[in-house]
Chains A and B, each alone.
Chain A
Amino acid sequence: MILPQIQIARGHWILGALFLAIILDEYLPLIGRDDQPARSRSPLIGWALMIGGAGVWATVIFADVVHDMLVHFLWGDLLLAAGALELARRRGVYERPWLDYVLPLAILGCGLLFLVHVEIDPEGQGARWHLSMGLLLVAAGLLELLRLRWPRVAAIPLGLPALAAFALLLIAIPVAAAS
């Protein structure tokens, strides 16, 4: 099934806005009445990662060429694993200190797979946009990892600007580059 390019672009804009809304809600601290920051523990992120992983696996199944299948199944695995662990943590059935690393590593992994995909298919439609998006996700993942390792900045959502920039790229993507 091939969608008209304008509809693909409209999808990018709308879903970029949804992503922006959700990451702002997840990462921007709510300063409570006691002036202490409170962070969201909503299971929304976990389910969204899970459904996203299932969707990427659907992309594996419907891929045009073999290399797309190979890259996308890794993506799907990453999102499914991260989603399951985030869900378990947020619902309180499995809690370990290392689970703090799951979301940053998932973001980093998604960014790296973007770069791998662009490397395999450098002349692809919107390759520069995908390269930028990959770099932003890598930066966001690394900054979130830094935040975990550096307690002095733990309260500052370092990765948020890069994630927000990623969302803004989706919102701003031109019709010709959306794919």
Chain B
Amino acid sequence: MTSLGKWSPWRDRSWPRVAAAILLLAAAVVWATIRGLHSYALSPVGIGYDLDQPPVVLALVGGWIFYRSRRP
């Protein structure tokens, strides 16, 4: 068996934080979908301007807490 076969995205992570991250990312997707994706700009400047929009900040927090889920 290769080392890739032993790899697991969960084994080295703390599950409460992973669960919170998934919840936040899902909420961000639902929120953005309900609001309508046409509201968001696609140019680099426009994306930068959207970074404080509520669904985007939820996704950013989700990403952060996933990053902070590594076991001590």
A-to-B contact residues, CB < 8 Å: 10, 13-14, 16-17, 20-21, 24-25, 28-33, 38, 171-172
Q: How far is the CB of A153 from chain B (nearest CB, A)?
A: 15
**Which residues of B are in contact with A by a Cβ distance under 8 Å?**
14-17, 20, 52-54, 57-58, 60-61, 64-65, 68-69, 71-72
Given A17-B60, A21-B61, the answer on whether A10 and B52 have CB atoms closer than 8 Å is yes
Distance, CA A147 to CA B46, complexed state (A)? 45
Give B66 Cβ to nearest chain A Cβ, in Å: 11
Contact check, B64 vs A21: say whether CB atoms are below 8 A apart: yes
A44 to B17, CA, bound (A): 19
Cβ of B32 to closest chain A Cβ, rounded Å: 13
Interchain nearest-CB distance for B8 vs A (Å): 14
Which of A13, A16, A25 interacts with B65 by CB under 8 Å? A25
CA distance A32 to B69 in the complex (A): 10
B65 touching A17 by the CB < 8 A rule? no
Give the 9 A-B CB pairs with smallest separation, nearest first: A17-B57, A31-B14, A30-B14, A171-B54, A14-B52, A21-B61, A28-B16, A10-B52, A24-B65
Look across to chain B and name the residue whose beta carbon is closest to the beta carbon of A32: B72
Residues from chain A with a CB closer than 8 A to the CB of B60 are 17
Option from A20, A25, A33, A172 in Cβ contact (under 8 Å) with B68? A25
